[in-house]
Amino acid sequence: TNDQLSKWDQDHFFHPSTALGAHSRGEAQGMIIKTAEGCHITDRDGNRMLDAFAGLYCVNIGYGRQEVAEAIAEQARELAYYHSYVGNGTEASITLAKMVAERAPEGLNRVFFGQGGSDANETNIKLVWYYNNILGRPQKKKIISRWRGYHGSGLMSGSLTGLSLFHKKFDLPLDTVRHTTAPYYYQREDASQSEAEFSAQCAADLEALIEKEGADTIAAFIAEPVIGTGGIVPPPEGYWEAIQKVLKKHDILLIADEVITGFGRLGTMFGSPKYDMDPDIITIAKGLTSAYAPLSGSIVHDRVFEVLARGTDENGPLGHGWTYSAHPIGAAAGVANLKLLDSLGLVQNAGEVGPYLTEQMRKAFEGHDHVGDIRGVGMMTALELVSDRDTRAGFDPEKKLVPQIAAAMAKRGVIARAMPQADIVGYSPPLCLTREEADTIVGVSVEAVAEVLG
Ligand code: PLP
């Protein structure tokens, strides 16, 4: 029964990103989801909800795709597991590596598979350190990320994450990590700045940090093409051009964390080409399998791989890997998922219905006293609320207004996400969203904001 499950849950299930005390006292019970199809999830009581967040920005192809379920079942029957150490592989893992390389930007041809986005970023930093050691510059170690960036919650990946919640009481960030200005144009300090001026300032801030630390101590810059968890923040005009100029000048590698933006979310297969980014490594996860099974990857550029390969010629095999690297079931899910992404035209749909959602949201909230900004790119939209539109000031965090709005939406059958450390409602639906479903999301958002803010 639900009561039984709730009790077991409260007594035994240690949840991620959860108020543990409240949960174990039964004050923060989440949903118990039973089935899902398309853009909808259904709980044990039969409540069907439109999931406007695709789980955690990950179910790109939508729920319930039998082709992927079959591929997983077949793989489990034929070969549930074999490892990928010392050059071993499976049909699924080898095929998926090729499919990823074919879809990745030019020059990014080698895929190291992991389990989730956090461990992929741990891998990336180890690869960058190894690379610099092979090049004979061991002092080039520090990694720069951005405030409001999200890169996971491991020791290194959590350090790279630029949200204080992920550092507080964990003794993070590690001492090799530095953070720089977020490209958060809406909340810029100087309201008179144009987007291009603000981008130039972000690049100048980055360069000042590099010069302060010493360029010969900085190994890499890691960033999402479009910030996700930190508030769904597309880069302002000219941002990536200005940033990459600084990185090239100081011989600093670029890691594009495309855990959210990879595999269609921005209406393009990857986010990097959309912004003319030329990354040395791309992090992938989520949309790689649409979360039908856990799998992540680090796609490494030929120019980096060449140095790593030279390193192993000189030093023996790379001392890095996971038992579940390239897990056959994840790989089989990935192959079936990428085929569906193509055959259903979902990348194109994301590029059409996503902007429609953002546009309809803008129309619906036009002139609203407490809606400061509505922004989006592809199938990602943010609704930023402010107490005062002139000052762009937020609300008292104690009031927990955005969680209240998300709850008011859930009551009406739509799941959106209260973004951490901000007054932002985030939307990142499956890429198969229809215009009618987008209209439902907008209508429910309007009703929920009216209920909470009047
Ligand atoms: N990088 C980005 C951009 C993410 O959005 C996330 C998760 O949301 C991660 C890394 C971490 O991935 P995971 O939660 O699979 O470890």
Q: Where are the domains of the chain?
A: 31-61+345-453, 67-343
For ligand 1, atom 12: residue with the closest CA: 117
User: Is residue 151 lining ligand 1, measured as CB closer than 6 Å?
Assistant: yes
| Cα(284) to centroid(ligand 1), Å | 9
Q: Is the link from the previous residue into 16 a cis peptide, with omega within 30 of 0?
A: no
Tens of pLDDT, residue by residue over 270-328, are 999 999 999 999 999 999 999 999 999 999 999 999 999 999 999 999 999 999 999 99
| Cα(122) to centroid(ligand 1), Å | 11
| Cα(117) to centroid(ligand 1), Å | 4
| Cα(450) to centroid(ligand 1), Å | 32
Beta bridge partners of 109: none
User: Letter for the amino acid at 127?
Assistant: L
Based on DSSP, count helices (H) and strands (E) in the chain, helices before strands. Answer: 14, 15
Encode 214-240: b = buried (16+ Cβ within 10 Å), e = exposed. Answer: eeeebbbbbbbbbbbbbbbbbbbebbb
Tens of pLDDT, residue by residue over 363-420, are 999 999 999 999 999 999 999 999 999 999 999 988 899 999 999 999 999 999 999 8
Instruction: Reply yes or no on domain 67-343 having CATH 3.40.640.10.
Output: yes
Tens of pLDDT, residue by residue over 143-176, are 999 999 999 999 999 999 999 999 999 999 999 9
Q: Which atom of ligand 1 is nearest to the CA of 115?
A: 15
What lies within 8 Å, CB to CB, of 130 at 6+ separation is: 308, 311, 318, 320
Within 10 angstroms of residue 85's Cβ, the number of other Cβ atoms is: 12
For ligand 1, atom 13: residue with the closest CA: 117
User: Is residue 347 lining ligand 1, measured as CB closer than 6 Å?
Assistant: no
User: Is residue 285 lining ligand 1, measured as CB closer than 6 Å?
Assistant: yes
- pLDDT value at position 323? 98
Instruction: Reply yes or no on domain 31-61+345-453 having CATH 3.50.4.10.
Output: no
**pTM score, whole prediction:** 0.98
